[in-house]
């Protein structure tokens, strides 16, 4: 049986009330919100952008959203 995370209100749903609330998907261990520093596009280098992408990929893996 499929279940929905909804209360019928069109204002939306929130998972976690703060960055320290733990969340996980697909049976992974819940973790707090990952901090990923953004590189500004005016000073970005390929290496800096790759570092940002790697950090985002790691955060998504840790949440269980990607394998």
CA 54 to chain centre: 13
The predicted pLDDT at position 32 comes to 93
Alpha helices in 1-67 (DSSP H): 46-63
Q: Rounded to an integer, what distance in angstroms lies between the CA atom of residue 52 and that of residue 13?
A: 28
Q: Is the pTM of this model over 0.75?
A: no
The predicted pLDDT at position 66 comes to 92
The predicted pLDDT at position 60 comes to 93
The predicted pLDDT at position 58 comes to 93
Residue with tokens 């929130």: 14
pLDDT in tens, 11-47: 888 888 999 999 989 988 999 998 877 777 666 788 8
């Amino acid at each position: 049986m499929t279940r929905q995370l909804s209360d019928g209100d069109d204002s939306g749903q929130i998972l976690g009330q703060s960055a320290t609330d733990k969340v996980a998907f697909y049976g992974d261990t819940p973790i707090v919100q990952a901090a990923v520093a953004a590189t500004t596009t005016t000073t970005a280098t390929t290496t800096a952008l790759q570092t940002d992408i790697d950090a985002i990929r790691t955060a998504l893996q840790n949440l269980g959203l990607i394998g």
